[in-house]
Structures are given as C-alpha cells and as structure tokens.
Amino acid sequence: MNPGETNRGRAFTLVELLLVIAVIAILAALMLPVLSGAKARAKRTTCLNNIKQINLAIHVYAGNNEDKLPDAGPVTYISCKELIKGDLGLHGPASAQDEIFTCPADTFYFDENTAAYQPKGHHEQFGYDFSSYSFNGLNLLTNYPNLAYNGPLHGVGGQRLGSVKNPVKTVLAAESAAFFPYSWHQPAGGQIPCLNDARCVVSFADNHADYIKMFWDSSIRYPNGAASLAAYYDPPAGYDYKWSGD
C-alpha cells in the first residue's frame, strides 16, 4: 500500500470538518444560556450576601440607639449608609469601591426625579452615596412631588425596630431598583423605568433577605402626569413584603 494513500485515507474530508464545526457551534449555543444563567445567579448571590450584611448593620445601629432605626432627615433612604458603614469596616469618604454596597448586576439605573435611563451603575453615583441599596425611610420625606395628592409615604425611618408589627414582611433595605420597580437581575427589554412584578433583592426587619417580585400599580397617575413608584404604597395580597411598619 502506498503510504501517501494511507495518510489520505485517515484525513478528514471537508464535509466531515464542516460537520464537526457545526456540532461544536450547536453545543456552544446550548451551553451559552447555562453559563449566562450561572453568572446571573452568582451576581444575585453576591447581592443577597451584601444586603444581609447591610441589614445586620442596621440592626446593630438600632441596638446602639435605643432600638431606633436610622433617621438622618428626609434623605435617610440614601444617607443611611453613612450611619452604618463603620460597622461594616468602611471608614472615610464613600466611594464606588465600597464593594459591600455594590450589586454586581447594577449596571444601569433610572433617575429618581426624571425617570431618565442612565447606562451606568447606581453605585457609581455621588448623589446616591455610591450605593446600590436604599433604606426603607421614605416616610421621612417631608416634601416630594405629589405629596398633596399621595400623602405621607410609608417607611420605618426613625421607628423603633421592636415596634415593627410584621418584621417578616416589612422591608428594611432593598436594591434601589425595588423602589421603582425595575430589575437589575432580569432587565426588561427597552428602557422601562417601572415594571410590575420586577424581581429585586430585598431584606427585612427580621433579618432575612430574599429575591422577590415587587408590585407596581400602573393605573395611578398624578395630576402633573407623573406615574407612581412602588415604594409609595403597600402591595395587595399575594406579595411577600410591605413598606409600612404598622
């Protein structure tokens, strides 16, 4: 037998090479959603761990202040970080490098005043004290758009932790996206600032945290044309959270 003929007999034909390439492409396509899902779950797990520690720090703060939850004025929902960060090992000015206040999925946000889409992280913004998370303290807002129509907001700012009547369901801190709501973990197509049943990471007064659906009432419209936000009202039955502490 001619050695050259033997080598030619063992070589892949063009058709066989194309078939192998096609199989590899199909396997890669099948694996991509699996790998993407695993990456998303890892980000969510990090976010859950972050907010559990933030929640614990809020409990420590209350324990050191006669059981009183943070109250640093109207914007405590943002500035709460400054009251608790020392118990989380952070000292000095806040920055975007404060990892415990950074959700890895936080890559965009909607401006709370204009609802404009911003293609950058909430935790990268000075105005939000470089945090992906907010304290449930909107009740401390003394003036906000549509106050006359909507009335005082829910929240637990300044309330005694022990007075919270349903700690298993009462929000203590959450991803800032939950207050609209929209989801960093399952982003909606397009640039939608509010979406009913958006899933967010939330922590509660009893110290547990979960990844849950947030309610948004799309039927509420204020006289100035603005839409409501999820944090403006407690949800109906069937949801696993409430903003009010009573």
State the first-to-last Cα distance of the chain, in angstroms, to the nearest integer: 92
Q: Is residue 131 part of a domain?
A: yes
Q: Is residue 217 part of a domain?
A: yes
Segment-wise mean pLDDT, segments of 10 residues, the chain, 246 residues: 50 75 77 68 94 98 98 96 96 95 95 87 96 97 83 95 97 97 87 89 97 94 83 95 96
Instruction: Provide the residue range defining the domain that includes 111.
Output: 3-232
Q: Is residue 241 part of a domain?
A: no
- pLDDT reported for residue 112: 81
> Could you give the number of structural domains in the chain?
1
Query: What is the C-alpha separation between 87 and 67, in angstroms, rounded?
Result: 16
Strands in the chain per DSSP E: 109-110, 117-118, 133-135, 171-175, 198-204, 209-214
**Residue 176 structure tokens:** 């800032």
Q: Is residue 201 part of a domain?
A: yes
- pLDDT reported for residue 38: 73
DSSP type of residue 60: H
- pLDDT reported for residue 27: 74
Q: Is residue 244 part of a domain?
A: no
Q: Is residue 53 part of a domain?
A: yes
- pLDDT reported for residue 1: 46
Q: Is residue 170 part of a domain?
A: yes
